[in-house]
Amino acid sequence: MKNDSKIARRKLLKLGAVALGTGIASKVIDASAKKAQAKETLIALQKLDQNSTPDEILEELIAGNKRFVENRPETPNQDDRRLREVSTGQKPLVSILGCADSRVPIEIIFDRGIGDLFVVRNAGNIATPEEIGSLEYGTVILGSKVLMVLGHENCGAVKAALEGKPLPGQMGSIVAAIQPAINRANKNDSEEFYLETIKKNVLLQVEKLYSSPLLYNLVTEGKLKIVGAYYSLNTGEVIIIDQE
């Protein structure tokens, strides 16, 4: 009886060793698959640099959003190698003015990583002097060739501007910056009014960016493309809204 239990224990230990061995083998396979995937991502990203055109960069940005929407992210440039690579300098090819809304995390929705995007966020994605200055830095100094203003579905800042109620503290300055967009939206269709105001607000902030001579000059020289876009909270999709 004693011997039997010993044999049984040995058998169990053996089985454990086999199971452990299998675990190691599958981990090795996992690691090599990840390595191959990382290599592919690197190849895809190497297509883009400061010599790429704004259109090529915008296309790649939207391709990243498509990967996010289709739930097949590559999570590029999110490893320790990239961390060290950009520790001494950054060359983000895209600058973005987005809303501070917690449901619009910029790097995640574009499937990008460290050092890829120069991001400025505030409630309502409004272009105040500080934001314009930051985006001038992102483009003129750091070399971004695409500048996107990204509004989104169910934006609370736009909603507050539509409601027009007095707000405490300094929140009133946000709705004041959005106010002109309300006047531009078509009031005949009340259901679409909120959505349209969100989009008009994006275009209003794009206009404010064009008021910067530095940004305007980059655009006329073909070195920068400024675009407005809309993010759907439901689908995760980003749609360009100011192009013909």
Q: Which residues bind Zn ion (CB under 5 A)?
A: 99, 101, 155, 157
Nearer to Zn ion, 135 or 155 (CB): 155
Least Å from the CB of residue 69 to Zn ion: 19
Four-point Cα dihedral 7, 12, 13, 18, nearest 10: 130
Least Å from the CB of residue 152 to Zn ion: 6
Least Å from the CB of residue 156 to Zn ion: 6
Residue-by-residue DSSP string for 189-226: -HHHHHHHHHHHHHHHHHHHHHTSHHHHHHHHTTS-EE
Tracing tokens 């959005």 back to the chain, one arrives at 178
Least Å from the CB of residue 229 to Zn ion: 13
- For 125: left if phi > 0, alpha if psi spans -120 to 50, otherwise beta; the answer is left
The strand pair at 238-240 and 225-231 is best described as antiparallel
Nearer to Zn ion, 194 or 216 (CB): 194
Nearer to Zn ion, 64 or 124 (CB): 124
If we measure between CA atoms, which residue out of 63, 72, 69, 61 comes closest to residue 145?
61
Q: Which residues pair with 239 in a beta bridge?
A: 230
Least Å from the CB of residue 98 to Zn ion: 8
Nearer to Zn ion, 101 or 111 (CB): 101
Least Å from the CB of residue 12 to Zn ion: 58
Nearer to Zn ion, 67 or 121 (CB): 121
d(CA 6, CA 120): 66
Nearer to Zn ion, 45 or 150 (CB): 150
Q: Which two tokens stand for residue 76?
A: 């590029």
d(CA 38, CA 212): 39
